[in-house]
């Protein structure tokens, strides 16, 4: 079931977003439509375009999203898709959304270029449909996203990563684009384009939901069910990406047993699967998983507190349910 299915009005707007994406990637008879079409048809959550649409509806009294908003929501999803194509190459991940990643089916050279194509199309949509002030907000956000991806590569294998640096990284990687999705939906639906209290509140909600979302994502990488997440467990650990559960557990590792196991996994020698199981058990038993889940809850709670400042209505209610579903998700 699609993530937005319980909210048919949002689903209807998102069907329009999907059509825009389909038409943007359909080039006559080529590899672009075939490769990207295959990715676009997979069961994506469409969170970011959903946020754009929802923010627009909150701003304009619950009316369906305008054509401009639908195109901007499509642009944000296409930017996200481009970043995932590149991310799977960088992470050497074999699957995406339960199927082979694009670089596996088409080779890395084509996959990089297909990502670039989406990226370029996304910017074209923004140039055509956004106010120039919003188009200007987009470039630093993308720069921050890419910087976070660079930091993640740079930090690989660094076992003394601070929670602060981790947070900075996930803000760049996820929260910025969540916040931007809300910002664009809200401000583009404001006739004056003013950055008022509702716009600021929605942006803060996006930020807090984004941090919470990424923490849950990092938990699912350790303890999620691959049949539901569509990705094998332990991808982060295998490639030496240190996330919050491990940061928490490494703070109580006086005999350096855990850090020894993590290094062995990274080297890829010996019984990696057995070591991964041991690390997971240790994270569970030490309380590191539940402590991490509590941090995700804190950010969701902050988003819910902000929500109270928004005008009462069906769309505010939907946003509240979405916050809970994101925290409790298993995929
Ligand atoms: C997924 O994280 C990755 C991202 C949200 C962004 C990665 C960004 C880049 C690679 C920069 C390229 C950007 C553009 C705009 C072309 P994850 O690896 O934790 O999640 P996953 O488990 O779903 O892969
Ligand atoms: Mg990845």
**Which residue has a Cα nearest atom 15 of ligand 1?**
83
Point out the ligand 1 atom lying closest to the alpha carbon of residue 91. Answer: 18
Of 91, 92, 102, residue with least CA distance to 37: 102
Question: Is residue 81 a part of any domain in this protein?
Answer: yes
pLDDT value of residue 297 = 98
pLDDT value of residue 1 = 76
Residue-wise pLDDT for 208-249, tens only, equals 999 999 999 999 999 999 999 988 899 999 989 999 999 999
Question: Is residue 153 a part of any domain in this protein?
Answer: yes
How far is 23 from 13, CA to CA, in rounded Å? 16
Instruction: Report the residue among 100, 113, 149 best suited for mutation to probe ligand 1: largest number of ligand atoms under 8 A from its CB.
Output: 149
Question: Is residue 1 a part of any domain in this protein?
Answer: no
* 121: Cα separation from own chain's centroid: 20
Q: 75 in ligand 1 pocket by Cβ < 6 Å?
A: no
Q: Which two tokens stand for residue 104?
A: 């596996």
CATH number of the domain encompassing residue 254:
1.10.600.10
Question: Is residue 263 a part of any domain in this protein?
Answer: yes
Give the gyration radius of the chain's Cα atoms.
20
- Contact status, residue 134 vs residue 128, Cβ threshold 8 Å: no
Total domain count for the chain?
Answer: 1
What range defines the domain where residue 294 resides?
8-328
How far is 243 from 170, CA to CA, in rounded Å? 9
pLDDT value of residue 269 = 74
Instruction: Report the residue among 87, 146, 228, 331 best suited for mutation to probe ligand 1: largest number of ligand atoms under 8 A from its CB.
Output: 87
Question: Is residue 3 a part of any domain in this protein?
Answer: no
Question: Is residue 181 a part of any domain in this protein?
Answer: yes
Per-residue pLDDT for 268 more than 90? no
Average pLDDT over residues 172-183: 98
Distance 232 CA to ligand 2 centre (A): 11
pLDDT value of residue 41 = 87
- Contact status, residue 238 vs residue 252, Cβ threshold 8 Å: no
Give the ranges where the chain is alpha helix by DSSP (H).
Answer: 8-25, 31-41, 47-59, 67-90, 102-106, 108-129, 132-154, 163-170, 176-187, 197-223, 226-229, 235-238, 244-250, 257-267, 272-285, 288-307, 314-328
Distance 88 CA to ligand 2 centre (A): 5
* 92: Cα separation from own chain's centroid: 18
Question: Is residue 2 a part of any domain in this protein?
Answer: no
- Contact status, residue 46 vs residue 103, Cβ threshold 8 Å: no
Question: Is residue 122 a part of any domain in this protein?
Answer: yes
């Amino acid at each position: 079931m699609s993530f937005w299915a319980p909210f048919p009005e949002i689903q209807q707007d998102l069907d329009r977003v999907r059509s825009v994406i389909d038409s943007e990637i359909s080039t006559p008879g080529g590899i672009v439509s075939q490769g990207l079409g295959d990715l676009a048809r997979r069961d994506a959550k469409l969170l970011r375009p959903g946020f754009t649409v929802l923010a627009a509806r909150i701003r304009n009294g619950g009316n369906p999203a305008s054509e401009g908003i639908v195109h901007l929501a499509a642009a944000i999803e296409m930017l996200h898709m481009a970043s995932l194509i590149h991310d799977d190459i960088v992470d050497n991940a074999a699957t995406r959304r339960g199927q082979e990643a694009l670089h596996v089916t088409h080779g890395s050279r084509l996959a990089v270029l297909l990502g670039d194509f989406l990226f370029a199309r996304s910017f074209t949509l923004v140039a055509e449909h956004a106010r120039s002030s919003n188009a200007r907000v987009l470039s630093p956000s993308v720069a921050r996203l890419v910087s976070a991806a660079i930091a993640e590569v740079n930090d690989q294998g660094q076992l003394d990563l601070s929670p602060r640096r981790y947070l900075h990284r996930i803000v760049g990687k996820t929260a910025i684009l969540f916040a931007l999705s809300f910002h664009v939906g809200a401000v583009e639906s404001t006739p004056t384009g003013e950055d008022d209290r509702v716009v600021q509140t929605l942006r803060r909600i996006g930020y807090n939901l984004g941090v919470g979302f990424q923490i849950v994502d990092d938990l699912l990488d350790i303890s999620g069910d691959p049949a539901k997440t569509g990705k094998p467990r332990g991808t982060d650990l295998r490639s030496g990406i240190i996330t919050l559960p491990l940061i928490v557990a490494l703070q109580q590792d006086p005999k350096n047993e855990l850090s020894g196991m993590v290094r062995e996994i990274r080297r890829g020698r010996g019984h990696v699967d057995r070591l991964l199981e041991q690390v997971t058990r240790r994270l569970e038993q030490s309380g590191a998983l539940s402590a991490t889940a509590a941090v995700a809850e804190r950010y969701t709670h902050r988003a819910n507190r902000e929500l109270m400042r928004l005008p009462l209505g069906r769309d505010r209610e939907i946003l509240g349910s979405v916050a809970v579903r994101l925290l409790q998700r298993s995929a």
